[in-house]
Structures are given as structure tokens and as C-alpha cells.
A and B are shown apart, each in its own frame.
Chain A
Amino acid sequence: MISTLAEKSLLEVCAIEQHSLDEYESEMPRWCKGCGDHGVLAALQRVLRKNNLEPENVVAVSGIGCSSRLPHYLKTYGFHGIHGRALPISTGVRLARPELPVITIMGDGDCFSIGGNHWLHAIRYNINALVLVLDNEVYALTKMQASPTTPAGTTTNTTPHGTYLQPLNPLSAVMGMTNISFVAQTATWLPAHLDETIEKAWEHHGLSFVRILQRCPVFMPKAFGEGGLNFPVVFLEHEDGIPVHPLLRKRGESKAHNHRDINDAQRAAVSVDPAPMGLLYRNADLPAYEDIRWQRTDRPDRKTFLERLDAAMDRYTVT
């Protein structure tokens, strides 16, 4: 508490420049009206401002899909790459420049389907990155095909007679991964909760996996009970968890949840009805992969570098 106060007064005394919200804003988003992506962008900008981050020191990495356009609208450094591959790029940025905070933005098809392998392995690496999956249960940019999280029986362009399979539960999948360090779920129709969740995930050192539920107003308007109107949720509460704004309490029940207990977290992850909202799991003690690698890497000066290269060459010198 004291240090927070000291920091705040220092900020005022030293007149450290406080960034304004518009310093994180780039061009006008081109998402559809009513798309949840708008809300996530705004929440991210608020979190960046709250933490007074230098825009040039933040890297937002995305894949391909509607939500992956987000870095275009954020005035930081951004990398809008290829479908499913945001996490390897994020890992590369973190390994090369651990001083740069990384935000990874993916959609459900991007992360859970084509990028599935990277998703699981990035969790195991536990790179220190904020990983947001904007899950609207459909491939929207390519105009309505079933994604891994599309509810069973949903009619899409690739499943005109309804999908054949039960949807993937991303929460239970990540809760089964070795080295999982932060799992939270929130929704764009719960804006205060969305802000708090992203803020909490931002604070976490390690891979913070956040699934954000949102409907697609064009192709999946009925998803999540028409965007939360008729979608049962249960807020997971803990004093160190994600606070629930009093106004949100009428949207669902609350339940005490110990996010430090992996068994409780796994149980919460497999319960889909009502959908758990909040911090499912957090283990703040797991080392981040880039920290491990950097700690074990020596950074010699030029002279030592050359001496070592000379010594390495000695191993192969025959005459």
C-alpha cells in the first residue's frame, strides 16, 4: 500500500507524463456494429492507459480473423500475421526482447483450431504474455463456418444440417496443460468484468489465457443467449480474484472459488452450464520461459565473446 502511494505521489511530483486514452488509439475500427471486438479494444486501451505504458514498448500480435484486426486499431507496435500463428510470433518477440510487453489476440478458429498446437505449447512454455481469445463460436471473416466452439446442431455454411460434434471446451483443455499459470473467462456483455479481467491478466507474470465470450451480430447473433440476454453464468469470486461489480450481480449467481487450487479450477472449467466467469486458476510461482532462457544465457562482452569463439574453434583445430 505504501509503495503504491509513493508511486502515485512520485508520478505527480516528478510530473511523469500520463498518457491519455487517445494515445493508444489508431484508425477507426472497421468491425460490424454490435461486434464485441469494439468492447475488447476499448478495454485494452483502458488497461494500457491505467498502467501508463509507453505505446512504443507494447507489441500486439494477432493471427487472421475479425478480431485479429485489433492491432490495426491500437496505436502500439503491432503484428498482424497469419492464421493460427500469433503465438509463435509472440514467443519470438518475448524471447528476443523480454522488456517488451506482448498482447496476443486471436479468435476461436485461429487459436483452438488451426493454431491448436501452438496454443497448447505456448501454455507449456508459459511465456509472459497476455493472451486474449475472442470467442464468437464461429468463423466470421470467412462468412460463417463452424468453429471448434460452435454449439452442437448449429446451422452454418459448412454444416447446413447442423454441426455434428459437441463444441470444444477451451477452459478444460487449458486446465489439463502442464504449466498452466492463468485462466480466466469473461464476456463482452459484462464490460466492467471484462476490464477487471484484462487488468488482472495484465498483472500476471506468465501466460495469462483469457477467453472472452462475445456474439457475432451478423453470423451468430443468437450465440451466448443472444449476447448474454439469456445466458446463465456464475461469477467465481475470491478476494484476489476478479471483482464483480454490484450492477453485474443480477446477471448471474456468485460462487466462492479458490483459483489457487488446481482441482477446484479443473472442476470449474468442465462446468459449462452455468458458464464460469472470472479467474479460474492462477499460479504466480511458475517461471516464464523467456526468463529461464535469459537467466541461463551469458551475455559476454566483445573480448570474452572472441576468446570463447577462439576456444570453441580450438576443439576442431587439428594442426
Chain B
Amino acid sequence: MSGPRRTRLCEHTVEIVSDAGEGAQKAAIAFAQLCAKSGNGLWTVEIIPSEIRPPPHTTGSASGNRIRLAERERVSNAGNKADVVLAFNEMALLSRLQAGSLADDALVLIDDQWATHEVEAYRASYRDVLAQARTRGATILEIPLERETLRHVEDAQQGKNMFAVGVLCALYCKDASLLEGVIGGIFKGKSRAVIDVAIELAGAGYRYGVEHLEQCFEIPSSPSDVAKVAMNGNTALALGAISAGFELCSMYPITPATSASHALSDLFEEFGGFVHQAEDEIAAIGVALGASYAGKTALTITSGPGMALKTEFQGLAVMTETPLVIVDVQRGGPSTGLPTKIEQSDLLHALYGAPGDAPKVVMAPSTIEECYYILTVARRIAEEFRMLVIVLSDANLATGQQLFDRPDISQTPEQAPLDLSPVPPGTLPYDWDPNTGLSQRLIPGQPGGMGVTTSLNHDRDGKACYDSERNQRGHQMRSRKLAALQQTLRPPQVHGAPEGDLLLVGWGSTRGAIEEAVDMAREEGLAVSSLHIQFLSPLPPGLGDIFAKFDRVITVELNYSDDWNDPLITRENRRYGQLAWVLRATTLIDIDCFARVPGRPYMPVEIVGEVKRVLGDQQVKQSRTETPAAAKGVSG
């Protein structure tokens, strides 16, 4: 047996989809670990239905993962259209076709049981969907997923995912001897019998693949001396919270933030901390604020609707200058919106969503690795500046997995014990430095520091006051801290050349896709660069100077903006992407935006398409922008 023909590639994107509950997620995790262990860089994205058990065999039930694997060590985003899809049924496949996730010439591996299924409707839809895929140019490979699995187990639902892992192992020329370790790790805690069957099925899938596949893909690995970890952004946040020395995380369950608290709950008690699941979102931040007031800076993790409920407490944290960290794992909104899908629509809410003038620090991690480190930074700023720090993660970071260098644990900062040394009676609780607004806070238990911390306007002595002079001063001091923090920030680095025709500005998880798009566009000779902003409040210095070196500046964001060619939209009423609003206001530069709400990450090719459209390449015309903006008398 010569085995399948090998094709060498530097990267590939594969999707694994099944009905919810059939285990495609687990298969994908196993396959991703297999790739990671064999030295590939990778990025994975979950494909999650919003319900636990949606009606099976429907497009709404499709559940699984997208895995982008590459020869290079660092994969920064979910990539473009998928090259391969392994579908457990044709409706799962259809959902990916409809989502526009698959390349036209994708290789489709699909369970063949539906071709001869007793239900005529299934047979018909199977034929139709496959015909549709073929028409687009796909290569179809029918595999007896159910049939072969049934040779090993009585219930194929409990095992075909492992058979699928074996097939993928063969399709990507992976070393089958790694399967045992990977599967053993994934089913850790299950009985030996369960693990053995899973390994047996994966082995069977591998043998089937080697015998029946005509070709396989070899994506070499790039050997690295540095140990690597693979985890999703929520796990990185959880480990990062421990590393940052937090002792209390107070939360209320909300998708897609909750898994961070799952990971934290699992570990925290071994590290001197605990997760408090509060009765509601308001209480969750209230408990965190109470703990912070008592001297133990606390954390609360939520998503958009929870942020909305927490706004009054945010104002209280700002007014009382109580250090506090909120992580908002953003999802699609408004209201319940798209709970499992990515959006970057909470920026303006994070910046301005509290009654009165409430200056806060807002930062956004742009990679999963940054999710690990950001809470250490957030906590330090919260404490030194006595401020509320909001960390804007998103569903893409939360559920995606990335490979990155194993953090050096010995570098974990050591937290000093509470300083409860006495202060002279009369010590001011808000002894504001007039230049920076900074002051030393007093902590309950400190003799001499007794006094009330109030949500009312107050002066340096902390006592409530209502006169205009002291109200103005309180506002100034709280606002000045942002300016003081801004002075400590460095101007961001431009990716690409420092000048050119177009600058793309992004924030949060879109970084990888934007930078990859810039690289692709520059390869084609386009003078485009990008800039990524990690601090949204205060904004880093030097933005105006950077922007001035480009003919045009647009933001690339996953939030809503009106299209220039939408009905009624004019210069006066157009609503921009959220970062664009902020940058326009702060720089007075006519910054445009590429801001949409696809409910998935941007593909680099989409961004390249937008770059070309903006730069006037008429050959590239995306469906979303059929009418040139100029037709409406607008110079885009």
C-alpha cells in the first residue's frame, strides 16, 4: 500500500461541523492538539449554536470548530475561506456554505449515511446540498463515518467524532502515535474503557484514511526551542487573573464570558482566591467593588448586557476612586443580539456608559496571549490610579485557541500584603496631587483613616459637598488621572511603512486579520499600513502625527456603521464605527471606517478587498458595496 499522494502546503484551514451534541467540538480540540503537538502554529474558532440542543439536522444545529494550521509558529487570526470541511451531515455543510466560510473549491468530507438514509427528506436534501457544493467547484469525498463507527460501538453518536479525528490525522499526514496521548488528555477523568474506545476509533479512522484517501496534505512544522501553550482567551484571562494576584472574581453567568469563570473556579481556590457567583450582574460588580474598597482589588467578568446592568456601579467606582477591573467579553448586540458571536460594539458603552462624567481606563487585548498578561497591567493601573479599568475582550478571543510562548511563571508579580499601618488622624482620603489627580487611598483597618466613602460629590476630605467650586474640582481631579496615565503611554507602532496611501486602524481581536491583510496588500504593491490601539482610554500619544503621514485613514471594526450608499445616509446623519467616532472627535481628521457586524471575525481577504475599494481599484467590487460612494456625491 503506497498510501495517499502527499501535497506540501504552508498552511490550511479546516472546519469540522456536526449537529450540536455530536462531538465535533471535541474532535476539533483533539485535532488542534494533534497539530500543536506536531509543531504547527494554529488558531481555532468555535462554531457554536445559541441553543444547547437545537433541532438536529438543521443549519441552526451546526456546531464545531474552524482550525487554521500553518507551518509558521504564529497564526494570528482565523484566516480566509476554509480549504477543507468535515461535515457529519449535509445541513451542517450547508450552514458553512451559507455562512460563506468555505472556499469554492473546498474539499468536502461528509458522512455517506444520508445517501441511503431511510428518511427520504434526508436523502433528497443530501443530494441537493452536495450538488450545490459540486456546482461551486467543491470536491466531495463521502466517508462511511456512521457505518465504520458502528463496527466499534453501539451508539455512533458516542464515537464518530473520534473516527473523524483519525481521518483528519491521515488527511494531514500526522503521526498517528500522537493520537493516544491527545485523546487520553482530552478524556481525562473518564473511565479507561471510554478512553480506550475513543483511541480505538481514532485508530480505525486513521487506517480508513490511509487506505482510502487519494491525497493528503503535509504542513511541515517549524521546530521551536520555546515551550508553547494552546488555550482560548477566556482560559488565558482566568490564568492571567491568578497571575495578577486577584483573590476575588465576582460574576454572573453570561455568554460568552462565563467560561473564563469556569476556568477560574476550577483553579482559584488553590491560589488563595475564589469566584463568587452573585445573584445578578449588579450584585456581581457590587461584591467586587466592596472587596476592592476593603483593599483587595477584585475583578468582575461579563458581556454586553451585563455591562449595561453594571453601569451605575461603574459610576460609583469612578466617584469613590475605588480600583476595580471589569472584563467585558463582547458579543453581538443590542439586547440579546448574537450571544455566541463576536462583535466589538461595547466600546462607546465602555467609554461613556455611566451616568455623569465618569472617566475610566479602557484597554483591549488583541491576541489570546495578551489576554493572559492584560489583567496584571489592568490591576496595576486600577490600583496606582485608583481607577476603574475595563478590559474589552470579545467572543473571537474568548473561544478561539492560539498557540503562544509559555509564560515565564517566575516573572509573575508578587503582590504586597495589605498596608494597614496607621495614618495621622485627619489624613485626607482624597489628597489629590493637583497635577496628576493621584492620591493615596485609605483602607478599612488603617487606624486614623476612618471616614465615609461617599457616592456624593466630595472634596479632598471625602465629605459630601454641593457647591460648584468643589464639584468642578472633583471632576477635574478624576479626569486628570487619565491625562496622567496617557503621559506614560508610548505611541503605537505602525505595521508596514510609516507613510502611505492608506492606514487601517484597529483595536481588539481584529489585529491578526488586519495585519495579515496589510501584508497581502503590500505584497501586491499597495501603500497600506495598519495601526493597532490597545489603550482606548486614554488613547496613546502621537496618533495625529501618525495619521498625518497617510492620505486616508479608516478604522476596521466589527461593529455597525451606515454605508455611504444606504438610503437617506448623508454626511450629517451617517453613523460611524465606534473607534472611528472616537478618533474623529479626538483628531479632527476625516477618518472613515470599515465597520460591519458579520457575527464572525473578518477574513484577511475581506479587508484586502476593502483596501482595494478604498484605493479605487474598480476591479475588486465586493457585493456589500455595489454602488460606488461617489454616485451619492460623497467622496467616501
Q: Which A residues form the contact surface with B (CB < 8 A)?
A: 26-27, 54-57, 59-61, 64, 71-72, 74-82, 85, 87-97, 99-100, 117-118, 120-121, 293, 296-300, 302, 305-306, 308-310, 312-313, 316-319
Contact = CB atoms under 8 A, between A and B. Distances in A.
Given A80-B452, A89-B293, A312 B230 contact: no
Contact of A308 (B247, B248, B270): B270
Interface stretch (B276-284, B517-525, B542-550, B612-620): B276-284
Given A80-B456, A316-B231, A85 B282 contact: yes
B243 interface: yes
A102 B36 CA distance: 51
A210 B97 CA distance: 63
Contacts of B237: none
B455 interface: yes
A293 B287 CA distance: 14
Minimum-distance CB pairs A-B, first 7: A92-B290, A88-B286, A96-B291, A78-B452, A121-B279, A89-B290, A318-B36
A96 B247 contact: yes
A92 B298 contact: yes
Contact of B230 (A57, A59, A316): A316
A155 B454 CA distance: 32
21 contacts: A76-B450, A77-B445, A77-B451, A78-B450, A81-B286, A85-B283, A85-B312, A88-B278, A90-B290, A91-B286, A92-B289, A93-B290, A95-B276, A96-B248, A96-B290, A96-B295, A121-B283, A297-B274, A309-B271, A309-B412, A313-B229
B96 interface: no
Nearest to B247: A96
Contact of B292 (A92, A99, A100, A298): A92
A90 B290 CA distance: 6
B37 A305 contact: no
B407 A313 contact: yes
B239 A56 contact: no
Given A95-B291, A293-B274, A313-B407, A302 B414 contact: yes
A56 B313 contact: no
Given A96-B247, A96-B290, A310-B409, A293 B451 contact: no
B271 A305 contact: yes
B313 A85 contact: yes
B227 A319 contact: yes
B313 A318 contact: no
B294 A97 contact: yes
Given A93-B444, A298-B270, A308-B271, A61 B407 contact: no
B567 to A, nearest CB: 43
Given A306-B410, A318-B230, A312 B294 contact: no
Interface in B231-246: 231, 235, 239, 242-243
A312 B268 CA distance: 11
A293 B542 CA distance: 47
A299 B282 contact: no
B453 interface: yes
A81 B288 CA distance: 13
Nearest to B266: A312
A85 to B, nearest CB: 5
Contacts, number: 200
Contact of B269 (A27, A76, A298): A298
B228 A309 contact: no
Contacts of B135: none
Given A297-B269, A309-B243, A318-B33, A56 B283 contact: no
Given A92-B289, A97-B294, A57 B445 contact: yes
A134 B278 CA distance: 25
Nearest to B269: A297
A79 B313 CA distance: 13
Contacts of B296: 96-97
Nearest to A72: B452
B447 A312 contact: no
A34 to B, nearest CB: 23
B241 to A, nearest CB: 11
B272 A305 contact: yes
B269 A59 contact: no
B288 A92 contact: yes
B463 A85 contact: no
Contacts of A57: 444-445
Contacts of B449: 56, 77
Interface residues of B, number: 72
A296 B239 CA distance: 19
Contacts of A310: 409
Contacts of B337: none
A81 B316 contact: yes
Contacts of B453: 77-80
Contacts of B250: 92
B267 interface: yes
Q: Tell which of B243, B250, B291, B320 has the most Cβ of chain A within 10 Å.
A: B291
A122 to B, nearest CB: 9
A77 B250 CA distance: 23
B455 A82 contact: yes
A216 B452 CA distance: 24
A239 to B, nearest CB: 36
B243 A89 contact: no
A92 B298 CA distance: 9
A57 B455 CA distance: 21
Nearest to B34: A318
A128 to B, nearest CB: 14
A312 B412 contact: no
Contacts of A305: 271-272, 412
B446 interface: yes
Nearest to B444: A77
A296 B282 CA distance: 25
B452 A319 contact: no
Contacts of B312: 82, 85
Given A92-B292, A309-B242, A313-B406, A297 B279 contact: no
B306 interface: no
Given A78-B452, A88-B287, A318-B228, A93 B294 contact: yes
B410 A117 contact: no
Interface string B440-471: 00001111111111111000000110000000
B626 to A, nearest CB: 45
Contacts of B274: 95, 293, 296-297
Contacts of B289: 88-89, 92
A81 B248 CA distance: 20
A78 B293 CA distance: 10
B272 A92 contact: no
B4 interface: no
Nearest to A312: B267
B279 A306 contact: no
B403 interface: yes
Contacts of B414: 302
A232 to B, nearest CB: 36
B243 to A, nearest CB: 6
B291 A93 contact: yes
B37 A318 contact: yes
B52 to A, nearest CB: 26
B283 A118 contact: yes
Contacts of B243: 309
A71 B294 contact: no
- Among B250, B267, B414, B445, the most chain A Cβ lie within 10 Å of the Cβ of B445
Contacts of B412: 305-306, 309
A94 B39 CA distance: 48
